[in-house]
Copies of this chain bind each other. A is one copy, B any other.
């Protein structure tokens, strides 16, 4: 049944500005991203939920004027950590210990391994790694939106530096990587809605060993 929903979804080009996605659905879509598995469990990304019309109007300007940004009811911004720092790594490992109420030798050795490698790496390498993790959460949010019957439009077509400025992300150590408007399709005026979804055939997409 999830597969049916994944077939139902498409990169919605025209959203009905009179329809609003309910808060409980938005929460579950964000929750799917929060539950996404990430490397070493560090969750090196955040999701900013933008509803403010003025902010979304500004974002639309730096997103090739794509209408879904303002015609959907919510805009999710996926922003990855700009770097892996000692503080961030320790924070997550401490949170795990606190939540589980135990200390584990292997886990602490693993923490040390990360502390002696990640923060010393090139910042851009770390950001690229964090960005990939954000894309796992992005994929899970897209799946959850489809499952909820909510339309969404995965978008990389925007100026990340300008979006970071609009939302003040750099000051928080974040860099935007993808955005996801949420809303409901308006079939009249959506050139894509009735076109066949095209994916490479299985034989091209997968192989067996």
Contact = CB atoms under 8 A, between A and B. Distances in A.
A143 B145 CA distance: 12
The 5 lowest CB-CB distance pairs between A and B, nearest first, are A139-B139, A135-B135, A136-B139, A6-B35, A143-B143
A50 interface: yes
Interface of A is mostly: helix
Copies in the complex: 2
Interface in A190-209: 195-200, 202, 204-209
Size range of the interface on A? Answer: 35 or more
Interface string A66-107: 000000000000000000000000001001100110100000
Interface of A: 2-3, 6-7, 9, 11, 28, 30-37, 39, 41, 43, 46-52, 55, 92, 95-96, 99-100, 102, 128, 131-133, 135-140, 142-144, 147, 154, 156, 167, 177, 195-200, 202, 204-209
